[in-house]
Amino acid sequence: MAGVEVPTSMQGRTLTPLLAGESPADWRTDFFVEHLFEHPEIPKHEGVRGEWYKYARYFEQEPLYEELYDLQNDPLEMRNLA
């Protein structure tokens, strides 16, 4: 979008089709996330989110804390299945 060439060392894909309202057929529907930075209000965690489920693991909590949500039947994430 900025008109510069993307370095070959960069990972990922352009979001331009999504911003234009397109829905690419080969777009992935799940992703891995991790938050590893020191922050007073956001605990470190890792997780995965797909079309059906969302899972998060807060690995520095004592005791370890996990969340698992069925996004199809509980889109507001009110019932933790973990």
So what's the pLDDT on residue 44?
93
The strand pairing partners of 69, in sequence order, are 54
So what's the pLDDT on residue 68?
98
- φ/ψ (deg, to 5) at 17: -60, -35
* Helices of type H across the chain: 16-19
Claim: this prediction has a pTM higher than 0.95 = no
Nearest-5° Cα angle at 34, 67 to 9: 150
Per-residue pLDDT of the chain (82 residues; tens, 9 = 90+): 788 888 889 888 888 888 888 888 788 889 999 999 999 999 999 999 999 999 999 999 889 999 999 999 999 999 999 9
Residue with token string 């899972």:
55
Do the beta carbons of residue 29 and residue 23 sit within 8 Å?
no
Do the beta carbons of residue 58 and residue 43 sit within 8 Å?
yes
